Chains A and B, each alone.
Chain A
């Protein structure tokens, strides 16, 4: 009996040790980022690494932030994220409901067609997609950044899955009471699907906020840059001012970490459900 207890203690100890070691290794790059953001350029690559700067340069933060139009980039990112997420969530839940609760000719087929787009990376269609958006005259515009994000299979599949689990009797009861199709959707289905909607909102908001390649392709003017594009341009322009680049990187990371800590459950759920692309 006691040897088993000893053994399980040992296993626990080793597990803790490994977890602590892995966490430490994984976090080192981020610690380096914050540490470097408080240094002067000449101190960036010292050996051994000075983890806690002797004279922390807090002024790096306002200085770096002021060197580019970051207020504007944050505003653009907020606008793009809010609109793209709202439209996607609205349209995806309508479609998910339609596919889950109605039987119509071609419904199965539509579902498969939507599912298949999960295998279609942006990298494959970026050239013709760019040409399409350009033909619309939407380069350097919010609609140009936003529109391609809306047709995303993930939300449709997630919402369909969730609506399938809603009892038909509830919906039928509403219909018998004389509620129209849309009324039933908004009054019965939507309130009951709050957990799925929360997961979808968090997931899509993060994905849109984080998107780099697409805005990188369609945005060339400074005042339309989103945060990721602003950071990339800044890093190119300030090539040798490592602390400034790290300060901006830290500033861009903090909101996401805060969001993650607050909405951890939805975050992780979204990732576990999708099985995941970036």
Chain B
């Protein structure tokens, strides 16, 4: 009964002896626990919670940073957003960007993880190589891909091999979202493949052995063992990739600058432009609140939808 090793002290089922020993650290000088949290808490308060409250407050105001005047508007900013074609367009663009990016991630990163999980010799080398796009500094991604997506760049050169005339990715409003999707997937499919790989590695071999004895085919094993047991990983990948893509700003900010004609202005770029270029702090903050609501709603809804009992 001795040894609370590795057990969450809050877990139920402690013996009275363990409970007694825990009181050494617990009730006697409990303020020490709080004291240890305080240093980092200060940074959370000043640089996370305070700005969050400010964003919510500003979203209800017309704030001009130059004249330093703030006028209370109530819900006006939100009503204006609902009637602003640029804002609505940025929401549509962001949605297209998210769906176009995440769909390939969900399929291809799992396929890649399965290939890396075969246990064949040499997969470690492939894993290292395939992971390199994740290591490249984030700022290099838009700079490099601006060249690769050039009308005579690598992408169109590659399409040319299949007899396809590639579009002018960065200046055609109908394909510019594709120009955001391709580099994002290039960087993130390998990353999420690694997360799937960790998920695959955590599935016990016994399940597969038992299924093999019962004569299950490889496809049946995948369908009835791998997929269900990967559900927690799938939820993580889905939430992470959707929220990341929905908020991401570096590609549109540096590579397309929202163009042509605002066709690649995502929600976060809309916020940036209104805040830092037009100084509409209140209006930009209202859009930030919308972005936050989207991220939080999606996360909670997905967690609810895929809730497992274990």
Contact = CB atoms under 8 A, between A and B. Distances in A.
Contact of A44 (B54, B147, B243): B147
A71 interface: no
B25 A171 contact: yes
Given A102-B32, A212-B139, A278-B244, A126 B50 contact: no
B128 A120 contact: no
B75 interface: no
Contact of B37 (A23, A95, A129, A176): A95
B191 A271 contact: yes
Interface string A203-246: 00000011011000100000000011101100100000010011
Majority secondary structure, A binding face: helix
A18 to B, nearest CB: 6
Given A105-B30, A151-B44, A172-B25, A120 B52 contact: yes
B271 interface: yes
A45 B157 CA distance: 10
B299 interface: yes
B153 interface: yes
A1 interface: no
B41 to A, nearest CB: 7
A94 B58 contact: no
A103 B9 contact: yes
B268 A123 contact: yes
Contacts of B143: 231-232, 235, 245, 249
Contact of B137 (A45, A171, A252): A252
Contact of B154 (A28, A88, A147, A256): A28
A16 B112 CA distance: 12
Contact of A103 (B3, B5, B33, B44): B33
Interface in B102-152: 112, 115-116, 118, 120, 122-123, 126, 128-140, 143-145, 147-148, 150, 152
A197 interface: no
A115 to B, nearest CB: 11
Interface stretch (A52-60, A62-70, A160-168): A160-168
Contacts of A15: 115, 118, 120
B206 interface: no
A101 B33 contact: yes
A231 B194 CA distance: 28
Interface residues of B, number: 107
Secondary structure of the B contact surface, majority rule: helix
A42 B78 CA distance: 50
A91 B38 CA distance: 9
B34 A127 contact: no
A142 interface: no
18 contacts: A22-B126, A27-B129, A29-B186, A94-B39, A104-B30, A123-B249, A123-B291, A128-B50, A132-B50, A150-B40, A164-B8, A169-B2, A212-B254, A229-B139, A231-B139, A252-B139, A253-B136, A272-B197
Interface of B: 2-6, 8-10, 21-22, 24-27, 29-37, 39-48, 50-52, 54-55, 58, 65, 112, 115-116, 118, 120, 122-123, 126, 128-140, 143-145, 147-148, 150, 152-154, 157, 160, 186, 190-192, 194-195, 197-198, 236-237, 239-240, 243-244, 247-250, 253-254, 268, 271-272, 275-276, 281, 284-285, 288-289, 291-292, 295-296, 299
6 nearest A-B residue pairs (beta carbon)? A102-B33, A98-B36, A151-B43, A128-B54, A104-B30, A91-B40
Interface of A: 11-12, 15-16, 18-20, 22-23, 26-30, 32-33, 36, 44-45, 47-49, 88, 91-92, 94-95, 97-99, 101-107, 110, 113-114, 117, 119-121, 123-132, 147-148, 150-151, 156, 164-165, 167-169, 171-172, 175-176, 181, 185, 209-210, 212-213, 217, 227-229, 231-232, 235, 242, 245-246, 249, 252-253, 256-257, 260-261, 264, 268, 271-272, 275-278
